[in-house]
Amino acid sequence: MSGRRFVVVGLGNFGQGVAEELYRLGHDVVAVDVRDQPVDRIASKVTRAAVGDATDVEVLRALGAAGADAAVVSTGDDITASVLSTLALRDCGIREIYVKVVSHNHGRVMDRLDVTETIFPERESAHRLAKRVSAKSLVNYVELSPGLSVQEMAVPESWRGRTLRQLELPQRHRVTVVAVHDFLTDEVQGVPDPDQPLKDSDALLVAGATETLAAIAKLK
């Protein structure tokens, strides 16, 4: 199988989801957990799944972890296992390591170990949800970087029947409509027609400063 080789340690919901998606994307995935059931569940969905103690460098080497391109550590609330697995993966020569953390202090510990990135899924999901529900007309929200977002939003009533050319959004608001999605037909225009009037069934995929997009989403 072409692609990179990944080791995924811990097969809870997060670890399993990461392992399956990496494999689906064409990568070589070794999935490890100390429990039988999650290993059995994922066995047919990754390159190799095994029951083993990922805090033991010899176990990891026996599973083919040595020389892998990257690793993802997701050991749930067991912070000790998270730390020891990270150290064992380092001993296998893996330098690119992503760790799911469960608290601020867990994140601080992993940062001290100089991992590539710490992921706090619950907090990140909560932040995204808060930003979405704070503006009723937002449909989807993706933060590309601090202060820059892409948001799918309903067409404000004052824009309906007008064209993108007439609205002059880049000049007036410094935002860009990158796609138009008609919910009735499920048709998506990846390159919107600037002269096509917007309908109440349309949703706009808009890119720009996060604060600007939040303000636009409140327009009537």
Distance of CA 104 to the CA centre of its chain: 19
Give the pairing type, strands 202-209 and 28-33: unpaired
Q: What angle do CA 83, 86, 88 make, to 5 degrees?
A: 110
Give the per-residue pLDDT at 144: 66
Segment 60-77 shows an average pLDDT of 94
Encode pLDDT of 190-211 as tens digits. Answer: 889 999 999 888 888 899 888 8
Look at residue 99 and give its three-state secondary structure: strand
pLDDT level of residue 138 (50, 70, 90 thresholds): very low
Asked if residue 197 lies in contact with residue 163, where contact means CB atoms within 8 angstroms, the answer is yes
Give the per-residue pLDDT at 1: 47
Tokens of 25: 């994307």
pTM of the model: 0.61
Segment 2-16 shows an average pLDDT of 91
User: What proportion of the chain, given as a percentage, has pLDDT over 70?
Assistant: 89
Give the per-residue pLDDT at 84: 97
Give the sign of the dihedral formed by CA 75, CA 109, CA 118, CA 57. Answer: negative
Which CATH fold topology does 5-119 show? Rossmann fold (3.40.50)
Give the per-residue pLDDT at 76: 85
Can you tell me the distance from the alpha carbon of 72 to that of 12, in angstroms, rounded to the nearest whole number? 12
Domain with CATH 3.30.70.1450 in the chain: 125-217
| Residue 23 per-residue DSSP state | H
Domain with CATH 3.40.50.720 in the chain: 5-119
Give the per-residue pLDDT at 127: 61
User: What proportion of the chain, given as a percentage, has pLDDT over 90?
Assistant: 60
CATH class, domain 125-217, is alpha beta
Can you tell me the distance from the alpha carbon of 65 to that of 113, in angstroms, rounded to the nearest whole number? 19
